Amino acid sequence: MPAEHRRAFLCAASSPGGGSSHRLWYDEGMDGVVLVLNQNYEPLNVCNLPRAFRLVFGARAEVLEYDHQVIRTPRAEYRAPAVIRLQDLIRRPRPRVKLSRREIFIRDGYTCQYCGRQSSDLTLDHVVPRHRGGGHTWDNLVAACKTCNHRKGGKLLEEARLRLARRPVEPRCDIYSVFTPYLRDEHNESWRTYLFLGH
Ligand SMILES: [Zn+2]
């Protein structure tokens, strides 16, 4: 992940709050990122070390894994966390895949949902045609080859005597694509267990 993207992500991931009493030594030369898990162990976001320390010292998170660094202050030494888990469950809206032509094709495996042919020359078909009340939505859009799209025209499935290969639904957002780039850094190796938990 390019540095500027990483920074942007860190900014987006961190939220206001947390004490400021540790700030004296926090921001000096601390390197590294920390995986934040929700209370139910779901990967939530990535934060920087100062933020992670604030969460841990504020008893808002527990440390599950430590990394290689030891942070020294005049009075004490602290092992830097690599993975932390929040004490309270954060409820947040489910991340969603943005509806687009390309995402529909990916969901449908670049395969016509009527005849099953794979093609790089696909069209988008509204299962229930728009002029008959069909929406421009995940559950009403499918990939269709030109032949099938033409055959279907403005008709309903029954009228065109066509059947769908499978019911179109909204795909799940792959939140793991956000975290996996961090695994390229060997310092984050301990994240792996938690990212693929239950996968
Ligand atoms: Zn077809």
Q: How far is the centre of ligand 1, averaged over its atoms, from the C-alpha of 131 (Å)?
A: 22
Q: How many domains does the chain have?
A: 2
CA 167 to centroid of chain Cα atoms: 24
How many residues are present in the chain? 199
Q: How far is the centre of ligand 1, averaged over its atoms, from the C-alpha of 183 (Å)?
A: 40
Answer yes or no: do 59 and 142 share one domain. no
Domain of 140, in residue numbers: 101-160
pLDDT at 5 over 70: no
Structure confidence at residue 155 (pLDDT): 96
pLDDT digits (tens, 9 = 90+) for 49-84: 999 999 999 999 999 999 878 888 888 888 999 999
Answer yes or no: do 82 and 144 share one domain. no
Does residue 61 belong to any structural domain of this protein?
Answer: yes
Answer yes or no: do 128 and 65 share one domain. no
Nearest CA to 82 among 63, 95, 97? 63
Structure confidence at residue 69 (pLDDT): 82
Q: How far is the centre of ligand 1, averaged over its atoms, from the C-alpha of 98 (Å)?
A: 25
Structure confidence at residue 143 (pLDDT): 98
Answer yes or no: do 133 and 179 share one domain. no
Answer yes or no: do 115 and 50 share one domain. no
Answer yes or no: do 180 and 120 share one domain. no
Beta carbons of 56 and 81 less than 8 angstroms apart? yes
Does residue 165 belong to any structural domain of this protein?
Answer: no
pLDDT digits (tens, 9 = 90+) for 121-179: 999 999 999 999 999 999 999 999 999 999 999 999 999 999 999 999 998 877 777 78
Q: How far is the centre of ligand 1, averaged over its atoms, from the C-alpha of 162 (Å)?
A: 10
Beta carbons of 182 and 36 less than 8 angstroms apart? no
pLDDT digits (tens, 9 = 90+) for 6-16: 333 332 333 33
Residue 142: how many CB atoms within 10 A of its CB?
Answer: 27
Q: How far is the centre of ligand 1, averaged over its atoms, from the C-alpha of 118 (Å)?
A: 8
Collapsing DSSP to helix, strand or coil, 95 comes out as: coil
Answer yes or no: do 120 and 153 share one domain. yes
Rounded to an integer, what distance in angstroms lies between the CA atom of residue 86 and that of residue 63?
A: 9
Does residue 169 belong to any structural domain of this protein?
Answer: no
Q: How far is the centre of ligand 1, averaged over its atoms, from the C-alpha of 173 (Å)?
A: 27
Q: How far is the centre of ligand 1, averaged over its atoms, from the C-alpha of 146 (Å)?
A: 7
Answer yes or no: do 57 and 153 share one domain. no
Q: How far is the centre of ligand 1, averaged over its atoms, from the C-alpha of 136 (Å)?
A: 20
Q: How far is the centre of ligand 1, averaged over its atoms, from the C-alpha of 97 (Å)?
A: 25
Structure confidence at residue 198 (pLDDT): 56
Rounded to an integer, what distance in angstroms lies between the CA atom of residue 52 and that of residue 83?
A: 9
pLDDT at 196 over 70: yes
Structure confidence at residue 72 (pLDDT): 82
Q: How far is the centre of ligand 1, averaged over its atoms, from the C-alpha of 149 (Å)?
A: 7
Angle at CA of residue 155, ends 150 and 156, nearest 5°: 125
Q: How far is the centre of ligand 1, averaged over its atoms, from the C-alpha of 124 (Å)?
A: 11
Answer yes or no: do 149 and 55 share one domain. no
Q: How far is the centre of ligand 1, averaged over its atoms, from the C-alpha of 111 (Å)?
A: 8
Answer yes or no: do 8 and 33 share one domain. yes
Answer yes or no: do 182 and 90 share one domain. yes
